[in-house]
């Protein structure tokens, strides 16, 4: 399925671009002129088409595919996903908990990080929410969605159930607005928000299952191309809304969270992109895509360490908005790719990026031998 490998690669690259498209504080360069904000904001508008939600759809589609090809009990499936998702997550959670100290020491908030590391509740948040680093939320959220896997089966034979996502996204928007306006001071508020996110993201599970059902139908080539063309047109129309949003961000210098049409464009785009590529998918693509696509998970997991280092260099030399975005994106992509490739060649560490089995120490055998 080269089309799926293409999506995996797009998702990995887009996440690096997304996290490269803002300033040191995660804002759209408010201290610079409107002209200087144009490139970073427009770059983000394109790269944001493939959000983290695309990774979720890909993962849940593959889960439907795997369970259909090799049926297994719910308990066995959860055990497999626990090893596949939570064990690497625990490794990177601990790594990034301490890696942050490098950037913190340079920008002067090292004491705050050390204080955070000394709080048991911080570690609970690291593991349950993935809030140790801005990208680690993906794995706990995905695992939460995996727990509801039996629900998605209904959409495999009834693909129209994929439209449930529209209801889920509507509920997410309205409940989030209420929570942040009325309950933001509540103890454990962040856990409440994450619970709502997982429940409303069930819509992406139904999309993944309905796409798998459509994939099994083996439509004629002409039908698939027509559907893909319609989806691409729909995506183009939604991108117009993203351009309106981008204009508002450029002129205001802050994220325009109250522009509701952009919310729908952002959260619908991953589903549309997935379906468009799936229906168009049997065209001939370069074989190299399938060779490098397995590294996309590692690209997602490892890229923040290099973005942090590039930010330190960029701050020292006073990079402008465009220079900072390009340096973080291109530099982060190249350096992370090199690290991921190196990790893939080390049996003891390849499992940390989803490649290879977790090494188990066997009685009477050294760990390195057992890993092989």
Contacts (Cβ under 8 Å, ≥6 apart) of 87: 351, 358
pLDDT tens digits, 111-167: 999 999 999 999 999 999 999 999 999 999 999 999 999 999 999 999 999 999 999
Number of C-beta neighbours around residue 285 at 10 A? 13
What local confidence, expressed as pLDDT, does residue 283 receive?
A: 61
For residue 370, what pLDDT is reported?
41
On the 0-12 / 13-18 / 19+ scale of CB atoms within 10 A, 335 is middle
Given this model, what pLDDT does residue 320 score?
93
| Prediction pTM value | 0.92
290-307 confidence digits (pLDDT tens): 889 999 999 999 999 999
Give the pLDDT of residue 281. 76
pLDDT by residue (tens digit) across 43-63? 999 998 988 999 999 999 999
pLDDT at 284: 59
pLDDT exceeds 80 at position 359: no
The predicted-structure confidence for 163-186, as pLDDT tens digits, reads as follows 999 999 999 999 999 999 999 989
| Residue entry with tokens 């599970």 | 205
Q: What is the pLDDT of residue 360?
A: 64
Q: Angle CA(356)–CA(359)–CA(360) in degrees, nearest 5?
A: 145
- Residue pLDDT, tens place only, 28-48: 999 999 999 999 999 999 998
Residue 335 has pLDDT above 50, yes or no: yes
Candidates 349, 347, 313, 358; CA nearest to 332 is: 313
Report pLDDT for 217. 86
**129 to each of 25, 125, 134, 296, how far by Cα in Å?**
21, 5, 10, 22
Cα–Cα distance, 57 to 138 (Å, whole number): 12
Name the DSSP letter for residue 357.
P
Evaluate if residue 358 carries a pLDDT over 90: no
DSSP H or E run through 99 = helix 87-107
**Residue with more model confidence, 135 or 218:** 135
Q: What is the mean pLDDT of residues 327-349?
A: 95
Res. 368: pLDDT tops 60: no
Whether residue 347 has pLDDT greater than 50? yes
Q: Which residues of the chain form beta strands (DSSP E)?
A: none
With a cut of 70, say whether residue 369 has pLDDT above it. Answer: no
């Amino acid at each position: 399925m080269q089309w799926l490998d293409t999506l995996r690669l797009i998702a990995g690259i887009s996440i690096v671009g997304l996290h490269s498209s803002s300033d040191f504080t995660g804002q759209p360069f408010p201290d610079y002129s409107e002209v200087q904000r144009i490139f970073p904001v427009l770059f983000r508008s394109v790269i944001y088409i493939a959000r983290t939600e695309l990774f979720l759809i890909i993962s849940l589609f593959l889960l439907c595919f795997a369970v259909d090809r090799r049926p297994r009990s719910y308990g066995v499936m959860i055990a497999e996903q626990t090893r596949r998702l939570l064990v690497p997550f625990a490794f990177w959670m601990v790594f990034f908990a301490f890696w942050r100290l490098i950037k913190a020491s340079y920008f002067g908030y090292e004491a705050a990080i050390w204080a955070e590391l000394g709080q048991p509740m911080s570690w609970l948040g690291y593991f349950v929410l993935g809030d140790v680093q801005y990208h680690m939320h993906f794995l706990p959220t995905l695992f939460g969605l995996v727990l509801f896997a039996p629900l998605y089966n209904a959409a495999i034979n009834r693909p129209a159930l994929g439209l449930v996502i529209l209801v889920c996204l509507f509920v997410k928007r309205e409940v989030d607005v209420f929570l942040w306006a009325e309950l933001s001071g509540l103890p454990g508020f962040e856990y409440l928000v994450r619970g709502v996110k997982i429940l409303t993201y069930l819509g992406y599970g139904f999309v993944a299952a309905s796409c798998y059902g459509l994939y099994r139908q083996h439509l004629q080539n002409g039908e698939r191309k027509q559907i893909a063309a319609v989806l691409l047109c729909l995506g183009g129309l939604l991108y117009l809304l993203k351009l309106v949003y981008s204009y508002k961000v450029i002129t205001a210098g802050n994220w325009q969270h109250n522009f509701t049409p952009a919310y729908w464009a952002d959260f619908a785009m991953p589903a549309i992109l997935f379906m468009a590529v799936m229906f168009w998918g049997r065209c001939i693509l370069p074989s190299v895509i399938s060779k490098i696509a397995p590294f996309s998970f590692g690209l997602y997991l490892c890229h923040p360490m290099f973005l942090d280092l590039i930010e330190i260099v960029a701050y020292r030399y006073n990079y402008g908005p465009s220079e900072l975005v390009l340096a973080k994106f291109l530099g982060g992509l190249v350096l992370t790719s090199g690290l991921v490739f190196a990790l893939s060649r080390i049996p003891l560490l390849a499992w940390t990026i989803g490649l290879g089995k977790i090494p188990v120490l066997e009685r009477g055998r050294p760990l390195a031998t057992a890993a092989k």
